[in-house]
Amino acid sequence: MSKPHENEHNPHKPAARKEMSRRQFLSYTLGGATAFMAGGAALPMVRFAVDPLLQKKTEGNYIKVVEVSKITDQPQEFNFEVTQVDGWYESKPTLTAWIRKDDQGILALSPICKHLGCTVSWNNNAKYKDQYFCPCHGAHYTSDGKQLAVARAPLDEYKVKIKDGFVYLGDKMPNTRAK
Amino acid sequence: MFKGVYNWIDERLDITPMWRDVADHEVPEHVNPAHHFSAFVYCFGGLTFFITVIQILSGMFLTMYYVPDIVNAYYSVEYLQTKVAFGQIVRGMHHWGASLVIVMMFLHTLRVFFTGSYKAPREMNWVVGMLIFFVMLGLGFTGYLLPWDNKAYFATKVGMEIADTVPYIGPYLKELMQGGTIVGAQTLTRFFAIHVFFLPAGLLALLGAHFFMIRRQGISGPL
Amino acid sequence: MAHGHSSKEKVVYVGDSRVKKRSYNPEQPDYTAYPGKSEAFIPNFLLKEWMVGVVALVAFLVLTISEPPPLGYPANPNNTGFVPIPDWYFLFLYQLLKYPYASGSYVVIGTVLIPAVMFGGLVMAPFLDSGKERRFYKRPIASSLMFVSLLAIIYLTKVAWNGYEHELKELNIIPEHIEREEKAREAAAAGKPTGQAKPGGKEVAIVDKDDPAMASFKKATCVACHGADLKGASAPSLRGIGDTLSKDEILKIIHEGKNDGKMPAMYDTAIGAGLTDQDIDHLAEWLAKQKAAQ
């Protein structure tokens, strides 16, 4: 604690050098240490919290379902298994698709009825020839999946990809054909 | 006995001025329903706080049984509601209290608005109050998912789709809140953490600021 | 900054670093400009406030005792028919998004712009409405904006709720929390367990998998909802159904349906699919044999 006294005794000593005052130095050090403590503690936590955002997406995970040559213009039922990972839960639900082709390409429809979630099938009721019919409440759909009764929306379709003569199916999406 | 303990503590910590400051301040006539019945509109803030306290307590007790896990959440809620003594009342307090807090807060906000009480010098307290409003809505939204029944699940899905529509950051925001690409196990734990730790911490800080400012500035004068 | 040891102080701190004690003189907002009777917060005013609190608590407890909090069925992401509904205080926002200028390609208006303007306006209210006047009828702009917003919120909430009720009626759905409660009450009256069966645990096997009834089960389109392996899909699992239902009860459900047609009467469908009465009888018998415990 001798500095202030020195200054007192030599009031004319040039203070030209732009030195940091002791108080300033202490404030900066204090601020820096605070910032380090806050940042150092928070950084791992923030990275921890945003991890799901930065994880590699498994999207576009297409599942090989059937040879293209087997697809006809009549819808056929195919089952395929997907792996769904939800954090520490992994499940392998079996999904069903009704696949047919026409001049617009291959259409793969999900058989989950858009009314109350029962399962529709193709041509399973004599009254609704060449239609998807739901046995629960009589919802029926055209081959494009357009709803004709009861249901509020057309059947969902799967994303379709064709590679090496096989049909690959991806995520479900709202119907794009039935307008 | 009690007096002895109090004096012993007071000698060491000098606590008397702290509570005397709260206790002794004068409350003006125009907010006192005993003088003018119409002054009951000034009760809504206090009632909001009262129900908030009930919310915090009942929430703390609910976590004694609740498990934030997609397999067990629903069954733990069903168990605590139907099998545990007074479970229906405790969960009921938390469920209905959530709605009641919103109602009371809404009425309190309207009272402050229509009496012009947010005007200078009380602008900051209004802003803090609005922040409390957002936090409460956030608590409502995150709490809605926790029972993990169909209503909870699908309402949250709709909420996530709404978040998704925000320009530019929407998809990231959605994924950050969901903790992944689907509403699932990680969404539930995330919402649980936000509902039980993050938002209540913010709420308590804001409430502290709210009350401090009321005490400092006093209640707004009569019209 | 030592305080100096006065002999009156019983506790003496060495190297006293306490902040100097201020004389107790709380700042009092001055209400003398408003003539009337002010009173101390504790106990006079607080007592009145707590009377209000007591009344509110009694009303609140009566509500919680008389009205159980709603709880539906466990979340099932495959349930595509569920009509989602948010908590009531988000209904107005939910309804807003159904209008053409707040949905589709304009959805940003409904999800971001309108809420941002509304809440932003609220937060900034003291700075936007910065005049001295406090009476609401002397601040026509602020007050009328608030009134209009209030009316809009009430209207939108009402429309959303009516729409929800209408949709339920049209689709013939009973809200799950009501259905679950009624069933639990029925089950309690019948002395059966009231809770939802928890999935997982021990898997129940199919009894007599090679029985011809399995073929009838597929043919009669039962598989559509109850799953090819009886594990259930949109309808419940039938594994172990024999534990709760007898053959006659199952036959009755096949003939008449259940749950207001959620399980429709399937008898005609089965006959239409080429099953005989005998087949159906056998199917019911086989289902009744599906018991968890062998």
Which domains does chain B carry?
A: 40-217 (1.20.810.10)
Q: Which of C168, C166, C159, C179 is nearest to C83 (CA)?
A: C168
Tokens of B155: 């309402």
B125: confidence class by pLDDT, cuts 50, 70, 90:
very high
Which chains have 3+ CB pairs within 8 A of B? Answer: A, C
Choose the closest CB to A87 out of B175, B176, B180.
Answer: B180
Decide which of A54, A74, A94 is a domain's last residue: A54
pLDDT band at A37 (very low <50, low <70, confident <90, very high): very high
Task: Describe the crossing of helices C46-66 and B87-114 by its angle, rounded to 10 degrees.
Answer: 130
Is A106 a residue whose pLDDT tops 60? yes
Chain B residue with Cα closest to C175? B151
| Closest CA–CA distance from residue B106 to any residue of chain C (Å) | 10
pLDDT at B60: 97
Quick one: pLDDT at residue B78?
93
Tell me, yes or no, whether A102 and A41 share the same domain. Answer: no
Report the pLDDT value the prediction gives residue C23, as an integer from 0 to 100. 59
Q: Is the pLDDT of residue A117 over 70?
A: no
C293 occurs within a structural domain: no
Closest-CA distance, B119 to chain A, in angstroms, reads 36
Rounded Cα distance, C220 and B20, in Å: 80
Flag whether pLDDT at C179 surpasses 60: yes
Instruction: Write the residue in A49, A59, A86 that is nearest to B184 by C-beta.
Output: A86
> Last residue of some domain: C143, C172, C201?
C172
Residue-wise pLDDT for C180-196, tens only, equals: 888 888 888 888 777 77
Q: Which of B71, B176, B185 sits opposite A53 (nearest CB)?
A: B176
Tokens of A138: 């009589």
Share above pLDDT 70 across residues of chain C, in percent, rounded to a whole number: 79
Q: Would you call B116 an interface residue with chain A, using a CB distance cutoff of 8 Å? A: no
Q: For residue A119, what is the DSSP state?
A: B
Predicted confidence (pLDDT) per residue in C264-289, tens digit = 788 887 887 778 888 888 888 888 88
In chain B, which residues have their Cβ closer than 8 Å to the Cβ of C154?
none
- pLDDT higher at B27 or C124: C124
- A112 versus C2: the higher-pLDDT residue is A112
Q: What is the pLDDT of residues B150-201, one digit of tens each?
A: 999 989 988 898 888 888 998 899 999 999 888 899 999 999 999 999 999 9
Residue A13 is predicted with a pLDDT of: 59
Q: Which of the residue ranges A48-62, A80-94, B50-64, C26-40 would you say has the lowest mean pLDDT? A: C26-40
In a domain, C81, yes or no: no
- At residue C261, the pLDDT reads 66
Per-residue pLDDT at C190: 84
Give the mean pLDDT of chain C: 80
pTM listed for this prediction: 0.79
Shortest CA distance from B193: residue in chain A: A49
- What is the CATH number for A125? 2.102.10.10
Residues C240, C164 share a domain: no
Domain of C222 in residue numbering reads as 213-288
A136 and A68 within one domain = yes
> Are the C-beta atoms of residues C126 and B126 closer than 8 Å to each other?
yes
Q: Are residues C102 and C151 in the same domain?
A: yes
Q: Which of A45, A47, A50, A53 to mutate to test the interface with B (most CBs of B within 10 A)?
A: A53
B/C interface, count of CB pairs below 8 Å: 241
Contact A121 C261 (CB under 8 A): no
**Given this model, what pLDDT does residue B18 score?**
84
Whether C1 shows a pLDDT value over 50: the answer reads no
Distance from the Cα of residue A57 to its chain's centroid = 8
Cα distances from C37 to residues B29, C25, C32, C47, in angstroms, run: 5, 21, 10, 16
Confidence (pLDDT) at A2: 45
Which residues contact residue B6 at a Cβ distance below 8 angstroms, ignoring those fewer than 6 apart? none
Q: Is residue C284 part of a domain?
A: yes
- Separation of alpha carbons C234 and A116, rounded Å: 8
Residue A179 placed within a domain? no
pLDDT of A119 strictly over 80 = no
User: Residues of chain C whose C-beta is under 8 A from some C-beta in A?
Assistant: 78-82, 171, 173, 221, 223-225, 233-235, 261-262, 264, 266, 269, 272
Whether residues A39 and A70 fall in one domain: no
In a mutational test of the C interface, the residue from B21, B47, B151 whose CB has the highest number of chain C CBs within 10 Å is B151
Q: Are A79 and A163 contained in the same domain?
A: yes
* Same domain, yes or no: A37 and A112: no
Residue B45 has a pLDDT of 94
The strand pairing partners of A79, in sequence order, are A96
| Token code pair at residue C105 | 């390609």
Q: How many domains does chain A have?
A: 2
B186 touches chain A (CB under 8 A): yes
Domain hosting residue A19, numbered range: 3-54
Residue A52 with chain B: CB contacts under 8 Å: 175-176, 178-180, 186
Q: Where does the pLDDT of residue A156 fall: very low under 50, low under 70, confident under 90, or very high at 90 and above? A: confident
More confident residue, A20 or C3: A20
Say whether both C144 and C218 belong to one domain. Answer: no
| Chain A: partners with 3+ C-beta pairs within 8 Å | B, C
pLDDT above 90 (res B14): no
Record: contact C72-B151, CB cut-off 8 A = yes
Residue B180, min C-alpha distance to chain A (Å): 5
CA dist., res. C41 & res. B142, Å (int): 36
Residue of A136, A141, A152 best to disrupt the C interface, most CBs of C under 10 A: A136
Q: Does B88 contact C126 at a Cβ distance shorter than 8 Å?
A: no
Chain mean pLDDT for chain B: 92
Q: How many folded domains does chain C comprise?
A: 3
Residue of A114 and A59 predicted with greater confidence:
A114
Using an 8 Å CB-CB cutoff, list chain A residues near B170. Answer: none
Which residue in chain C is spatially nearest to A126 when comparing CA positions? Answer: C272
Cite the DSSP H helix spans in chain C: 46-66, 91-96, 107-108, 114-123, 125-128, 140-171, 176-189, 213-219, 223-226, 247-256, 267-272, 277-288
Cβ <8 Å between B186 and A50: no
Whether residues A112 and C80 touch (CB distance < 8 A) is answered with: yes
- Is A178 part of any domain? no
8 A C-beta contact, residue C72 and residue B149:
yes
- Identify whether residues A24 and A96 lie together within a single domain: no
Domain shared by A11 and A30, yes or no: yes
Question: Which residues of A fall within a CB distance of 8 Å from B148?
Answer: none
Model pLDDT, residue C159: 94
Query: Are C168 and C226 in a shared domain?
Result: no
**What CATH number does the domain containing C250 carry?**
1.10.760.10
Q: Tell me if B82 sits within 8 A of B65, measured CB to CB.
A: no
Domain assignment present for residue C204? The answer is no
How high is the pLDDT of residue C2?
46
Interface probe with C: pick from B149, B165, B166, B214, most Cβ of C within 10 Å:
B149
Residue C193 belongs to some domain of the structure: no
Together in a domain, C222 and C283: yes
* In-domain check, residue C238: yes
Annotate A23-55 with b (16+ C-beta within 10 A) or e (fewer). Answer: eeeeeeeeeeeeeeeeeeeeeeeeeeeeebeee
Report in angstroms the alpha-carbon separations of C59 from C54, C55, C56, C66, C67.
Answer: 9, 6, 5, 11, 12
- Per-residue pLDDT reduced to its tens digit, B65-99: 999 999 999 999 999 999 999 999 999 999 999 99
Quote the DSSP letter at residue C75: P
Q: Which chains touch C (3 or more CB pairs under 8 A)?
A: A, B
- Say if A72 falls within a structural domain: yes
User: Distance, in angstroms, between A117 CA and closest chain C CA?
Assistant: 5
A70 and A137 both lie in a single domain: yes
CB pair distance less than 8 Å for C264 and A126: no
Q: How far apart are alpha carbons B93 and B58 in whole angstroms?
A: 7
A137 is a domain residue: yes
Query: Which of C184, C38, C222 minimizes the C-alpha distance to C176?
Result: C184
The reply to whether C47 and C113 lie within a common domain is no
Our CA dihedral for C241, C245, C246, C250, rounded to 10 degrees, sits at -80
| pLDDT value of position B20 | 85
Of C123, C153, C172, which marks where a domain is finished? C172
